[in-house]
Amino acid sequence: MKNFQIEYKWALILTVLGIVWIALERAVGLHDQHIDQHPIYTNIVVLPSVLVYYLALREKKSSFFKNQMDWKQGFLSGSVMAIFAALMSIPAVFFSLKVVSPDFFANQIKYQIEVHGRTLETASSYFNMNTYLITSAIGSISFGIVVSAIVAYFLKSKTQKG
């Protein structure tokens, strides 16, 4: 575990970023009066998330690999971080949608029925805690692996091959 302290630390930072983002979405009305704009603005969190991966891999390169990191090492480090982030996303999403924004699902279901003509069953099958926990964990791993591959390419040492 000691070899992955940096990944754990940055996954925790990414998790806190996610909770703060949900709170910000709620504060600006994306979970109620501006729920129609939620799908647009919720994805902006990708930008600071990429920055977190960059900072994590840069720290791993300088602190752990003594500025000699190849692509595979960076990719593995970022992938481990993605797994940690996915595991942490489960309690974070639960907390966010039970405590920070407890009316999110009810508001989304109502919006989907009234504006998009979805049935209660269809809207409820997507906007519920189980679905969000699963998609959050899978999304964290997928996003993290892709971003890790890209960031590791740009951070690999110039004298390294691969």
Q: For 114-161, how does the pLDDT look when each residue is reduced to its tens digit (9 = 90+)?
A: 999 999 999 999 999 999 999 999 999 999 999 999 999 999 998 644
Q: Which helix (H) or strand (E) holds 57?
A: helix 46-59
Q: 């709170």: which residue's tokens?
A: 23
Is residue 22, in this structure, part of any structural domain at all? yes
The pLDDT assigned to 2 comes to: 81
Is residue 62, in this structure, part of any structural domain at all? yes
Q: Which of 6-15, 57-66, 102-111, 152-161 has the lowest mean pLDDT?
A: 152-161
Q: For 32-66, how does the pLDDT look when each residue is reduced to its tens digit (9 = 90+)?
A: 999 999 999 999 999 999 999 999 999 999 999 99
Is residue 162, in this structure, part of any structural domain at all? no
Is residue 161, in this structure, part of any structural domain at all? no
Calculate mean pLDDT across residues 97-110.
Answer: 98
DSSP state of 156: S
- Work out how many domains the chain is built from and give that number: 1
User: What's the pTM value of the predicted model, to 2 decimals?
Assistant: 0.92
Is residue 160, in this structure, part of any structural domain at all? no
Angstrom distance (rounded) from CA 116 to CA 73: 46
Answer yes or no: are the C-beta atoms of 88 and 15 closer than 8 Å. yes
Domain containing 100 equals 2-155
Is residue 99, in this structure, part of any structural domain at all? yes
Reported confidence tier of residue 93, pLDDT bands at 50, 70, 90? very high
